[in-house]
């Protein structure tokens, strides 16, 4: 079943200095949508925020932009007044981690449980879980910019390709996808509620956003999209079943992810063929390898234009940054 009213408008996107964010909202209101089971989605605060709420408290996936934290906290309270125990970050961009410091401070860590052993500061707010590359990106200076404030850094990182958590009676898989949108992307899978939070590996508002400078790649993006497709169990005819919360845009299901993966592979193949013919980047752009998909995903303005996508695919396939 498709959920009603999920046609959330495309967020205007702007590139912040140093590429630390991939989107910025200009709508000052946030909205809460029930997804299924204990899972909710908060939109309008930057990247989409996933909320799982139950008897043990609240877990959020991503925290939106820093300047939206008060509204995000108010929105979380409309879902549950329980303590915020966990924050999981899908990647380091500021539209997904900007609210970490404030939302973490509003929560409290569980002492005991299956991740407490590696939490450094059990007394100081919610635990922030992310792949180690997220911490590296948030804590390392980028060019002339200072690193992001320490209060927003992950407190519990993992180096392997998977971390497991059990919370609110539900198993949660955190699955690292190397070199996709960035080098630190995680897919978060709520096993009982059958919901996947993808971060910016998958969005409905633009072509795949590949942050080459932060270790992203076209092949890694395709591999991660394939992983999401493999995890989904639809009901009939591709609709319903596992629900998918994208990094930006509306709630999705199997057919949406399948179409996005197909589009990405087709455009990758076209650009690969053009590279084999010896075409330059300018020639590839002029040949418009995305033309038939531009009405759905294309853009000539904003942060992630069609030209930038084509350039990222071209450079990624040639092994350039």
In the complex, the residues that contact Zn ion under the rule CB under 5 A are 22-23, 47, 93, 95, 200, 247
Beta carbons of 95 and 23 less than 8 angstroms apart: yes
Complex with Zn ion: residue 112 or 143, whichever CB lies closer: 143
Question: Residue 283 corresponds to which tokens in the numbers above?
Answer: 């020639």
Question: Residue 184 corresponds to which tokens in the numbers above?
Answer: 């630190």
Whole-number minimum distance, CB 92 to Zn ion, in Å?
Answer: 8
Whole-number minimum distance, CB 24 to Zn ion, in Å?
Answer: 9
Complex with Zn ion: residue 25 or 168, whichever CB lies closer: 25
DSSP summary character for residue 261: H
User: In the chain, how long is the greatest CA-to-CA distance?
Assistant: 60
Complex with Zn ion: residue 95 or 311, whichever CB lies closer: 95
Whole-number minimum distance, CB 301 to Zn ion, in Å?
Answer: 17
DSSP summary character for residue 16: P
E-state strands within the chain:
31-36, 39-43, 49-54, 57-61, 84-88, 127-131, 156-158, 162-167, 170-177, 185-190, 195-197, 243-245
Other CB atoms within 10 Å distance of the CB of residue 79 = 18
Whole-number minimum distance, CB 255 to Zn ion, in Å?
Answer: 22
Whole-number minimum distance, CB 21 to Zn ion, in Å?
Answer: 7
Complex with Zn ion: residue 252 or 284, whichever CB lies closer: 252
Complex with Zn ion: residue 170 or 200, whichever CB lies closer: 200
């Amino acid at each position: 079943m498709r959920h009603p009213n999920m046609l959330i408008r495309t967020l205007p996107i702007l590139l912040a200095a140093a590429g630390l964010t991939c989107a910025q909202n200009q709508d000052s209101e946030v909205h809460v949508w029930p997804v299924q089971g204990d899972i909710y989605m908060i939109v309008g605060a930057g990247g989409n925020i996933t909320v799982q709420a139950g008897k043990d408290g609240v877990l959020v996936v991503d925290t939106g932009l820093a300047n939206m934290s008060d509204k995000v906290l108010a929105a979380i309270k409309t879902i549950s007044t329980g303590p915020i125990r966990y924050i999981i970050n899908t990647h380091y961009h500021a539209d997904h981690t900007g609210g970490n410091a404030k939302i973490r401070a509003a929560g409290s860590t569980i002492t005991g449980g299956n991740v407490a052993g590696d939490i450094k500061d059990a007394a100081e707010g919610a635990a922030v879980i992310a792949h180690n590359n997220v911490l590296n990106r948030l804590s390392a200076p980028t060019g002339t910019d200072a690193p992001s404030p320490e209060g927003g850094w992950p407190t519990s990182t993992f180096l392997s390709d998977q971390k497991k958590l059990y919370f609110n009676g539900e198993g949660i898989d955190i699955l690292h996808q190397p070199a996709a949108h960035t080098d630190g992307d995680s897919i978060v899978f709520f096993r009982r509620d059958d919901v996947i939070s993808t971060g910016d590996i998958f969005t409905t508002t633009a072509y795949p956003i590949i942050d080459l400078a932060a270790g992203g790649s076209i092949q890694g993006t395709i591999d991660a999209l394939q992983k999401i497709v493999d995890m989904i169990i639809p009901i009939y005819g591709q609709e319903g079943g596992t629900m998918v919360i994208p990094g930006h845009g509306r709630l999705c299901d199997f057919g949406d992810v399948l179409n996005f993966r197909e589009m990405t592979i087709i455009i990758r193949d076209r650009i690969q063929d053009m590279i084999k013919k010896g075409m330059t980047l300018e020639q590839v752009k002029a040949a418009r390898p995305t033309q038939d998909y531009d009405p759905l995903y294309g853009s000539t303005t904003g942060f992630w234009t069609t030209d930038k996508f084509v350039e990222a695919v071209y450079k990624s396939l040639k092994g350039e940054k």
